[in-house]
Amino acid sequence: MPGVEFQAGPRQMIVVYSPPDTGAEIDALAVYGAIASDAAERSASGWSIVSTAVLSTRHAQAFMGREGSGYETKMSVAVVYSKVIPGSGLAGRG
């Protein structure tokens, strides 16, 4: 699951991951597994996760007119990454 990158200042970026809407309940383990795999690859070049946020973007239709029924079928996950300053082990700017 590729992410869309947005530069957010020196040594910072936001990556938005948006798995496809299959019309079925979201498989959170698959989504976060893909994000973790991508984060592991990014860590090789000094990037580490600072924070994450989830945005539900589609809810399944209500069943027989009952509000609140159904499940999320589409979501996006925003991940903020920071690049480690070489030799320091610390993330930062500059």
First-last CA distance in the chain: 30
CA 25 and chain centroid, separation: 17
> How high is the pLDDT of residue 57?
72
> How high is the pLDDT of residue 94?
44
Which portions of the chain are predicted below pLDDT 50?
93-94
The residues that bridge with 80 in the sheet, in sequence order, are 14, 51
Task: State the Cα angle at 42 between 41 and 44, rounded to 5°.
Answer: 75
Report CA torsion sign: 31, 33, 37, 42.
positive
pTM of structure = 0.76
> How high is the pLDDT of residue 82?
96
> How high is the pLDDT of residue 67?
59
Pairing state of beta strands 12-17 and 72-83? antiparallel
